[in-house]
């Protein structure tokens, strides 16, 4: 029952009070969970566009800069050399291992960045971005 003068809920006994309090706490917890999911998903989607754009720029840069096609430089994160492989199977195997290493590095670094973001370590993220550029 609601008091018309104060707008407060009037309870008849302790059991009713406990029941209403538990319902209220459950509703607040559910609302907080929904807000976490809503804003968490929006933030992930907000990151998706710049990351996709960055990947497109990297691919375009690698295709347009002649250094990557003229030099046979071996990168640290691609240890298996495919240019000197004699058979197609060896080239494919080396390329597959290189791809797996690069993907593993990307996954680990992405998870690290997401954890930094989740725990609001924005200064570390800014420092990382400044250092990497």
What pLDDT, on the 0 to 100 scale, is given for residue 71? Answer: 64
pLDDT tens-digit map of 1-60: 667 777 777 777 888 888 888 988 999 998 888 877 777 767 777 888 889 999 999 888
* Six-digit token string for 50: 């710049």
User: Are 3 and 11 within 8 A, CB to CB?
Assistant: no
> What's the predicted TM-score (pTM) here?
0.45
* Six-digit token string for 94: 């080396």
Query: Is the four-CA dihedral 34, 36, 37, 41 of positive or negative sign?
Result: positive
């Amino acid at each position: 029952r609601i008091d018309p003068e104060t707008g407060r809920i009037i309870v008849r006994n302790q059991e009713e009070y406990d029941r209403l309090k538990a319902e209220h706490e459950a509703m607040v917890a559910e609302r907080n969970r929904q807000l976490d999911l809503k804003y968490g998903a929006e933030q992930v989607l907000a990151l998706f566009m710049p990351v996709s754009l960055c990947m497109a720029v990297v691919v375009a840069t690698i295709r347009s800069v002649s250094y990557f096609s003229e030099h046979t430089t071996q990168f640290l994160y691609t240890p298996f050399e495919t240019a000197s492989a004699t058979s197609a199977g060896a080239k494919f195997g080396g390329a597959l291992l290189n791809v797996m290493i690069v993907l593993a590095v990307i996954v680990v670094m992405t998870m690290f960045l997401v954890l930094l973001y989740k725990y609001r370590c924005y200064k570390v993220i800014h420092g990382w971005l400044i250092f990497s550029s």
